Structure 1
Amino acid sequence: MSLEISKRILAIALGLSTFVLVSCGNSTKKPEEQAVEINQNPFPSTYRVIEYPPVLFTHVNVLDGIGGYFEDTSVLISSGKIVSIGNDKNVSSDTLTVDAKGKWLTPGIIDVHSHLGVYPTPTGNAHSDGNEATAPVTAQVWAEHSIWPQDPGFQRALAGGVTAMQILPGSANLVGGRGVTVKNMPGVTVQDMKFPDAPYGLKMACGENPKRVYGDKGGPSTRMGNVAGYRQSWADAQDYQRSWDKYYAEFDAGKDPKVPKRDLKLETLALVLKGEILVHMHCYRADDMGTMLDVMKEFNYKITSFHHAVESYKIADRLAADGVCSAMWADWWGFKLEAYDGIQENIPMVHAAKACAIVHSDSELGIQRLNQEAAKAWANGNSVGLAISEAEAWQWLSSNPAKALGIFAQTGSLEKGKNADVVLWSANPFSTYAQAEEVYIDGALVFDRNNPAMWPVSDFELGQPGEGDSK
Structure 2
Amino acid sequence: MNCKLWTAAAAALMLAACGGSDSGSKSGDVPRVFDPFPSTYTAYLSETTLLTNATVIDGAGNLLENAGVLIENGVIRAVGTGITAPEGARVIDARGKWITPGIIDNHSHLGAYPSPGVQAHGDGNEISGPVTAEVWVEHSVWPQDPGFTRALAGGVTAMQILPGSANLFGGRGVTLKNVPARTVQAMKFPEAPHTLKMACGENPKRVYGYGRGVTPGGAPYTRMGNVAGYREAWIKASDYKKKWDRFIAGTGDAPTRDLELETLAAALSGDILVHMHCYRADEMAIILDLSEEFGYRVAAFHHAVEAYKVADMLAEYGTCSSMWADWWGFKMEAYDAIPENIPMVHAAGACAIVHSDSDIGIQRLNQEAAKAWADGRRMGIDVPIEIAWQWLSLNPARSLGIADKTGTLEPGKMADVVVWSANPFSVYAQAEQVYIDGALMYDRNDPAYQPVMDFELGQPGEGDQK
Partner residue in 1 for 2:402: 407
For residue 133 of structure 1, the aligned residue among 115, 127, 131 is: 127
* CA displacement 1:187-237 (0-9 Å, x = unmatched): 100001000000011000000000111113233000000000001110000
Q: CA deviation at 1:276?
A: 0.2
Partner residue in 2 for 1:98: 92
Q: CA deviation at 1:387?
A: 1.1
| 1:190 alignment partner, SS class | coil
Letter in 2 for 1:143: V
* Percent of pairs with identical residues: 64
| 1:292 alignment partner, SS class | helix
Q: Is the 8 A contact 2:137 2:161 kept in 1?
A: yes
* In 2: Cα distance, 1:453 partner to 1:199 partner: 33
Please show how residues 446-461 of structure 1 align to structure 2 within 5 Å: 446-461=441-456
Partner residue in 2 for 1:175: 169
* In 2: Cα distance, 1:397 partner to 1:298 partner: 31
Letter in 2 for 1:204: M
Q: CA deviation at 1:413?
A: 0.4
Partner residue in 1 for 2:248: 248
Matched, 1:233 2:236: no
Matched, 1:155 2:149: yes
Root mean square deviation, CA, Å? 1.4
* CA displacement 1:128-177 (0-9 Å, x = unmatched): 10000010000000000000000000000000000000000000000000
Partner residue in 2 for 1:262: 257
Letter in 2 for 1:317: D
Matched, 1:398 2:418: no
The number of residues matched between the two structures is 429
* In 2: Cα distance, 1:196 partner to 1:262 partner: 26
Partner residue in 2 for 1:220: 220
For residue 384 of structure 1, the aligned residue among 379, 382, 391 is: 379
* CA displacement 1:260-289 (0-9 Å, x = unmatched): 111000010000000000000100000000
Please list every run of at least 4 consecutive aligned residues from structure 1 whose deviation after the TM superposition is greater than 6 angstroms.
Answer: none
Q: Is the 8 A contact 2:66 2:81 kept in 1?
A: no
Partner residue in 1 for 2:116: 122
* CA displacement 1:242-267 (0-9 Å, x = unmatched): 12222333xx36xxx54311100001
Please show how residues 9-408 of structure 1 align to structure 2 within 5 Å: 37-38=30-31, 40-215=34-209, 216=212, 217-218=215-216, 219-249=219-249, 252=250, 258-408=253-403
User: What's the TM-score once normalised by structure 2's chain length?
Assistant: 0.90
Q: CA deviation at 1:37?
A: 4.6
* In 2: Cα distance, 1:454 partner to 1:322 partner: 43
User: What's the TM-score once normalised by structure 1's chain length?
Assistant: 0.89
Gaps of 5+ in 2: 1-28
| 1:227 alignment partner, SS class | helix
Q: Is the 8 A contact 2:40 2:188 kept in 1?
A: yes
* In 2: Cα distance, 1:453 partner to 1:244 partner: 52
Q: Structure 2 vs 1, CA of residues 37 and 454 (structure 1 numbering), >3 Å: closer, same or farther?
A: closer
| 1:372 alignment partner, SS class | helix
Q: Radius of gyration: which is bigger?
A: 1
Q: Is the 8 A contact 1:53 1:94 kept in 2?
A: no
| 2:198 alignment partner, SS class | strand
Letter in 1 for 2:239: D
* In 2: Cα distance, 1:204 partner to 1:294 partner: 15
* In 1: Cα distance, 2:432 partner to 2:85 partner: 23
| 1:144 alignment partner, SS class | helix
Q: Is the 8 A contact 1:107 1:423 kept in 2?
A: yes
Q: CA deviation at 1:464?
A: 4.5
Q: Is the 8 A contact 2:440 2:449 kept in 1?
A: no
Q: CA deviation at 1:60?
A: 0.4
* In 1: Cα distance, 2:335 partner to 2:58 partner: 35
Partner residue in 1 for 2:14: none
